[in-house]
Amino acid sequence: MRTFVIRRLLQLIPLLLGVSLISFFVMHLAPGDPTALFTDPSIDPIELARIRANWGLDQPVIIQYFYWLGNVLRGNFGTSYLTGRPVLAEVIERLPATLLLMIPAYLITLLITIPLGVFSAIKKGSWFDNVVTVLTFIGMAMPSFWLGLMLMLLFSVQLGWLPTVGMRDVLAGNQGPVASFIDLIKHMILPLTTMTILSLAGLSRYQRAAMLEVMDQDYIRTARAKGLPERTVIFKHALRNALIPIVTIMGLSLPGLFGGAFIIETIFAWPGMGRLGVLAIFQRNYPLIMGIVVFSALLIMLGNLLADIGYALVDPRIRYGKK
Amino acid sequence: MGKNKLAIFGLSVLVFFTALAIFAPVIAPYDPTEIVAEDTMGPSTQHWFGTDDYGRDIFSRAVYGARISLTVGLVAVSISISIGVLLGALAGYFGGWTDSLIMRFVDVMLSFPSIFLILTIQAMLTPNIYNVMVVIGITSWMGVARLVRGEYLKIRELSYVEAARAIGCSNKRIIFRHILPNAQAPIIVAATLGMAGAILTESALSFLGMGVQPPMPSWGNMLMDAQAYMRDAPWMAVIPGLLILITVLSLYFIGEGLREKSDVRS
């Protein structure tokens, strides 16, 4: 197991190099110049050349890449073109807001998805299963931003129950910690619901399929043949095995949650990493884009690794490293 | 519920929308880019879906939008399937270092949050409809490549492939003429679901202003316009989203139906 983890961690290095190389070249080979967005058009050409040299843009792309890589290896992700602050600080500052949505969305999804998928599978073909199936398909077929807009339209614009965008109300901050906390929760509800519904749909389908497959196995027939009550068959024999694939999916759904965060944070003006990333792209803020790409890629890869480890832990049939 | 019924429902909806797209100039009562009435009027008998912030007819825009959204989806998925089949076939058929190289590249591409990669590439290009198709195509082939590789790994061991090799067929002939037809069922399922994904991605890109550019209507950029008029013209936001939902749902139903029929596992 230990060798497996170390080997997998080492494999992250070429992957991260590949990710950073591709993003770097995609950005830098594009026509146009990021300085145009940050400077006055009437700027003195000498001054402009100085800024370009300062940002390293006067060098060939490959040199720029190795320069960037050298700095990253020393823990320096460069500074944001817009604010002049270190990229790492900007990203880390935004991370809590993103996690504040992602972690609850993730947990709520798991809490709902497992019973939903399992019961649909047990009652395959019943009205409950049909309703869940249609709803999950609808959930998967909805554009994330549209779901967000519709929730906003209903609960903020029409009913006026919840705030439309942002994370905090300016006034609520002055009314003590309780009011400020309630305010935060109110702002969280819509983006959180949007995120949860989206990841819920796909996962429930997957859990249902996993449960159906297990229910078809010989050992379930054996358990039934032994005369065990259906409850024991389902909860002791089937469910435990049907939970194994969900561990993988938990890791594999991270990129989706992350991708969702870019769009959902943008519609709800939620001050997280996703919105920062989308703004950085619009502004061609190269160092910031690179920082966010590397950071999210790393999180996605670690998520996959954790899923594989979790898989080995819950399934005794799988033992990595011992062949 | 009968998967078949759902698939037939999906197919009918898709055929209907395709017909709308093809015959858009005949069906749309107004020019989709012309101001034809007062702005933000609610649905009425003259303007079934109301008018937008400029006073353009939303029904006409939605019909033309079907044209744009379906075309983008179809072309994008053709690109991603071509890349995925080619790379997956090479990796699965030849194995060895070809396989390692291609599959590591797949791993790298899968490590990006896909929407972020798409936005980055798209932001660096001129945002227009052709670039949208290409960018979605070149960033969504990885799943297909993995799937096709698996099929080739399985099929290349079969005796008919060995027979083909024995009578001196070239690798190219074996890959495309002998193995590919036997791997087509899962590819068709993947293409159906891929088209649904491409339509969703196009709408997200256009919604962020990086996809199909106004005044050309796409369902995604109609939603972008709608955002600022949520209070005064909610129908502007409801209708294009519903159309995307129905289209994508239909494709999913068709995909599931095909999967069931050809006994392909997810």
Q: How far apart are the first and last CA of chain B?
A: 19
Q: Look up residue A145 and give its two tokens.
A: 């931003």
Residue A228's contacts (CB-CB under 8 Å, 6 or more residues apart) are A237
How many alpha carbons fall within 13 Å on the CB side of residue B51? 20
Q: For residue A287, what are the CA distances in angstroms to A25, A56, A276, B188?
A: 13, 11, 12, 41
Contact at 8 Å (CB) between A262 and B119? Answer: yes
Output the pLDDT for position A238. 81
| Phi, psi (deg, nearest 5) at residue B36 | -115, -10
Q: Decide if B198 touches A, using CB distance below 8 A.
A: no
Residue B239 is predicted with a pLDDT of 85
* Shortest CA distance from A146: residue in chain B: B241
Q: What is the CATH number of the domain that holds A227?
A: 1.10.3720.10
Q: How far is A134 from chain B (nearest CA, A)?
A: 9
pLDDT of residue A323: 41
Residue numbers of A between 125 and 144 with CB closer than 8 Å to B: 125, 130, 133-134, 137-138, 140-144
Confidence band (pLDDT; 50, 70, 90) for B76? Answer: very high
Beta strands (DSSP E) in chain A are: none
Whether residue A19 lies inside any domain: the answer is no
What's the structural domain count of chain A?
1
| Contact residues for A40 (Cβ-Cβ < 8 A; gap 6+) | none
pLDDT the model gives residue A169 = 67
Residue B77 has pLDDT above 90, yes or no: yes
Cα–Cα distance measured from residue A138 to residue A141, given in angstroms and rounded to the nearest whole number: 5
On whether residue A2 sits in a domain, the answer given is: no
- Contact (Cβ atoms closer than 8 angstroms) between residue A168 and residue A184: yes
For A271, residues 6+ apart whose C-beta sits below 8 A from its C-beta are A94, A97, A166, A167, A265
Regions of chain A where pLDDT drops below 70:
30-33, 36-41, 169-174, 252, 316, 318-323
Please report which residue ranges of chain B form alpha helices under DSSP H: 3-22, 24-27, 58-94, 96-110, 114-124, 129-138, 142-155, 159-166, 171-173, 184-207, 219-226, 235-262
Q: What is the pLDDT of residue B12?
A: 92
What's at A43, amino acid-wise? Answer: I
A209 touches chain B (CB under 8 A): yes
| B112 contacts chain A (CB < 8 A) | yes
Work out the burial of residue B113: count CB atoms within 10 Å of its CB; fewer than 13 is exposed, 13-18 middle, 19 or more buried: buried
Residues of B in Cβ contact (< 8 Å) with A130:
1
Residue B195 is predicted with a pLDDT of 93
A23 falls within a domain: no
DSSP annotation of B169 = -
Has residue A192 been placed in a domain? yes
d(CA A290, CA A305): 22
What is the band of B248 on the pLDDT scale with cuts at 50, 70, 90?
Answer: very high
| Inter-CA distances, B244 with A196, B46, B86, B219, B220, Å | 20, 24, 30, 7, 8
- The ranges assigned to domains in chain B are 3-22+57-262
Q: Is the pLDDT of residue B266 over 50?
A: no
Interatomic CA distance for residues A244 and B9, integer angstroms? 34
- A158: its two tokens: 């029409």
Q: In which residue are the tokens 């399934």 written?
A: A315
> For residue B159, is pLDDT > 50?
yes
Whether A68 is covered by a domain: the verdict is no
Q: Are A188 and A271 in contact (CB under 8 A)?
A: no
Residue A275 CA to residue A80 CA, distance in Å, equals 15
Q: Is residue A237 part of a domain?
A: yes
Report the predicted TM-score, pTM, of the whole model to 2 decimal places: 0.85
In a domain, A153, yes or no: yes
Under the banding of pLDDT at 50, 70 and 90, the label for residue B145 is: very high
Judge: B226–A30 Cβ closer than 8 Å, yes or no.
no
Note the pLDDT of residue B86. 94
Report the first-to-last Cα separation within chain A, whole angstroms. 12
B111, A15: Cβ pair inside 8 Å? yes
Q: Are A215 and A121 in contact (CB under 8 A)?
A: yes
Determine the topology of domain B3-22+57-262 in CATH: MetI-like fold (1.10.3720)
In chain A, helix, strand, coil percent, each to 5? 75, 0, 25
Contact A137 B119 (CB under 8 A): no
Q: Sorting pLDDT into bands at 50, 70 and 90, what band is B141?
A: very high
Q: Is residue A322 part of a domain?
A: no
Type of residue numbered B50: G
The answer to whether B145 and B183 have CB atoms below 8 angstroms apart is no
Task: Yes or no: say if B224 and A149 are a contact pair by the CB < 8 Å rule.
Answer: no
- Nearest-by-CA chain B residue for A153: B230
With tokens 């999967």, the residue in question is B259
List pLDDT tens digits, range B188-224.
889 998 999 999 999 888 888 888 887 888 888 888 8
- ipTM associated with this complex: 0.82
User: Is residue A255 a contact partner of residue A293, using CB atoms and an 8 Å limit?
Assistant: no
pLDDT at A59: 76
CA distance A147 to chain B (A): 8
Contact A87/A77 with Cβ under 8 angstroms? yes
